[in-house]
Amino acid sequence: MPSTDQPEPRRIGLLGGSFNPAHAGHREISIAARNRLGLDAVWWLVTPGNPLKDENVYALYDERLRQARQAADCPDIVVSDFERRHNLQYTVDTLERLQETNPNALFIWLMGADSLENFHRWKDWRRIAQLAPLAVFNRPGYGDAALNSEAGAALAAFRIDTAQAQSLINKVPPAWIFFDDADNPLSSTALRQKKDDSMETPDT
């Protein structure tokens, strides 16, 4: 008789963003998530555009994608143009489509503390929290603001201890975790500013 055993679901962390540009902080969070949450892989979802950001600051999409693949430098990090291919802009829609197209996968949404601070501004943020567990990584100067934010306060009762990190992906959402010992200071905004400041007009 043929086996009826189903393969184990793949455990995938999702890190969305403009990656404008991708940097070592993205990689550090991804590797930490893989190790601490027991993930099989982390997918970087390079967005065509963020409704909360000025589109004029974006590098060309293919350039951001190329830089992200270079920065990832890890076989367990997959850089994806899923949102562009499916014409998606909002995280809630991306999560729903990913779950539809990957029925044998379990997802955790990864974000920095700065994103949690503004999470209540995301489209249907409560729905996002009901679709997948969240793993939040602290960043210098954002911890208290993130935990005391509108979303942080609303979801406080569903936060689990870091000692249970490996079980987060099996929790029925809403469920989330906050890694307060993650504090990489790098940001894409700061890197862009540094690059702009370093550009000088040559003498003529």
Q: What pLDDT digit, counting tens, does each position of 49-106 carry?
A: 766 566 667 899 999 999 999 999 999 999 999 999 999 999 999 999 999 999 999 9
Tell me the residue range of the domain where 78 lies.
10-189
Write the DSSP symbol of residue 159.
Answer: B
Which of 184, 120, 180, 178 lies closest to 149, judged by CA? Answer: 120
Q: Is residue 197 part of a domain?
A: no
Q: Structurally, how many domains does the chain consist of?
A: 1
Q: Is residue 196 part of a domain?
A: no
Q: Is residue 49 part of a domain?
A: yes
CB contact at 8 A, 151 and 134: no
Q: Is residue 56 part of a domain?
A: yes
Which of 39, 10, 174, 38 lies closest to 98, judged by CA? Answer: 10
Q: Is residue 195 part of a domain?
A: no
Q: Is residue 204 part of a domain?
A: no
So what's the pLDDT on residue 196?
Answer: 40
Q: Is residue 194 part of a domain?
A: no
The amino acid at 196: D
Q: Is residue 198 part of a domain?
A: no
So what's the pLDDT on residue 161?
Answer: 97
10-residue stretch averages of pLDDT, the chain, 204 residues long: 72 96 94 97 91 71 96 96 96 98 97 96 98 95 95 98 97 97 55 39 34
pTM of this prediction? Answer: 0.86
User: How many other C-beta atoms lie within 10 A of the C-beta of residue 52?
Assistant: 9
CB contact at 8 A, 33 and 203: no
Exposed/middle/buried for 9, CB within 10 Å: 0-12, 13-18, 19+?
middle
Tell me how many degrees the CA angle 152-97-175 measures, rounded to the nearest 5.
25
Q: What is the CATH number of the domain that holds 169?
A: 3.40.50.620
